[in-house]
Amino acid sequence: MEPQERRELVTRLLEEATRMQTVLEQAIAAKEQEAAQIEASGHITDDEPMPTPVSTLEAQYDAWEKIAGALSDIQTELNGIEQAEQQTSRGK
């Protein structure tokens, strides 16, 4: 795989991880607001489906955050490799 292809792949994955974090941040905020409204209204019934707990969304967010950090590290390492490859090809 060419250096540019590696860089583009990691960049796309990093963008996706960042997008997922944003989506999850919005979902967490919406769930917290929904929970506050339900609690304030006192309208809780047993026949309503159980919503996804905020803790599940937070766990997903944490996982994407770790992925984004790892991809950022990979991007840094790939940049170093690419620079070394460029220096090696110049030195020939």
Of 6, 24, 5, 4, give the one whose Cα is nearest residue 64. Answer: 24
**Domain around 43:** 3-90
Q: CA distances (Å), 84 to each of 7, 45, 52, 80, in order?
A: 15, 63, 47, 6
One-letter amino acid identity for 2? Answer: E
Task: Please list the pLDDT of the chain residue by residue as tens digits (92 residues).
Answer: 888 899 999 999 999 999 999 999 999 999 999 888 877 887 666 666 666 788 999 999 999 999 999 999 999 999 999 899 888 888 76
Contact 13, 71 (CB under 8 A): yes
Structural domains counted in the chain? 1
pTM of the model: 0.79
Q: How many CB atoms lie within 10 A of CB 73?
A: 10
One-letter amino acid identity for 89? Answer: S
